[in-house]
Amino acid sequence: MQDVMVESTALRPLWKRIADFPLVSMLLAVALFIGATALVTLIARLLPPMDKLAATAIKSALAILVVTLVYKLAIRKLGDEPRDDLPAAGAAKGLGFGLLFGFILFSLVVGVAGLLDVYNIVGEGGIAALWSSLIVMAIMPAFMEELLFRGILFRHLEAFGGSWFALALTSALFGLGHIMNPNATALSSFAIAIEAGILLGGAYMLTRSLWMPMGLHAAWNFTQGGIFDVPVSGIDQQGLVTAKLSGPELLSGGSFGLEASLIAMVLATAAGVWLVVLAVRRGHVVRPWWVRRRLAAEPALDPAQVTG
């Protein structure tokens, strides 16, 4: 079987072998993703004037639809081993578990912050901005960021350098991607990298699907902003309650929010490590491309040699 794999690889046209190389296929996937988002921007300009919330909802739905189509038609087919990370089978289970996990995890972060007196509810909130928060801060970031960082970058970096390489690099890139957010600091980006990068990367490694990371990401954002009135990655939100963060920035996260706090770093990183450990136990760790190629090229041992 290994000889057949090596032979079939050698028989493929040169352009196909180049296009299927993990780093090349990653660049092609990123280009398609950017093209899809640019197309959405062009289409959105053709929409008639409407209420801000309605426009936001329509543009978000349009973006998800177009990017999903591009993903299904092209992105998922790239690489040496094409696969669909948005399968219909198990979608409800993965999404539901991710939503529940994200809600419980950030509620635990807020609970510990409350016990330490750095998070306090000071009044009632409101539901006026609830739908906007759900769409803009939960659904859209969860879908777009997870498809890019886990469905494209993690997948192809893992195919090249293995699971540990992909987990480390995508976590760092995810933290760096938040450095331009309001009130961001080097510490907040580091916190996002280790807590969210490992957590969401671990969820992807464990399930080999984007549904759980997307659900987890959406619930994490909505729980902190839409429910507990905590800034989401530095962006102030209106929640169901009105809350105030105070005390040492190491515990409160300062203006960036609890994501930059030691509390979130400890709890979310621990949860992420747990997911990674589960992935390892299930044998979901991928070896680097050059190791897999070397092993595939090695002749299989003769059973007589093994026993004799």
Compute how many other C-beta atoms are within 10 angstroms of the C-beta atom of residue 295. Answer: 10
User: What are the two backbone dihedrals, phi and then psi, of residue 241, each rounded to the nearest 5 degrees?
Assistant: -130, 165
pLDDT at 62: 95
Interatomic CA distance for residues 295 and 288, integer angstroms: 11
Q: How many CA atoms lie within 13 A of 64 on its CB side?
A: 16
Strands 119-124 and 241-245: antiparallel
pLDDT at 306: 42
Q: Could you tell me the residue ranges of all domains in the chain?
A: 86-299
Residuewise pLDDT in 10s, the chain (308 residues): 444 344 455 577 888 889 999 999 999 999 999 999 999 999 988 888 888 888 888 999 999 999 999 999 999 999 989 999 999 999 999 999 999 999 999 999 999 999 999 999 999 887 877 888 888 889 999 999 999 999 999 999 999 999 999 999 999 999 999 999 999 999 999 999 999 999 999 999 999 999 999 999 999 999 999 999 999 998 888 889 999 999 999 999 999 999 999 999 999 999 999 999 999 999 999 999 999 888 888 765 555 544 44
Q: What is the pTM (predicted TM-score) of this model?
A: 0.90
Interatomic CA distance for residues 118 and 116, integer angstroms: 6
Point out which residues pair with 245 in neighbouring strands: 119
Per DSSP, the three-state class of 122 is: strand
Interatomic CA distance for residues 308 and 300, integer angstroms: 15
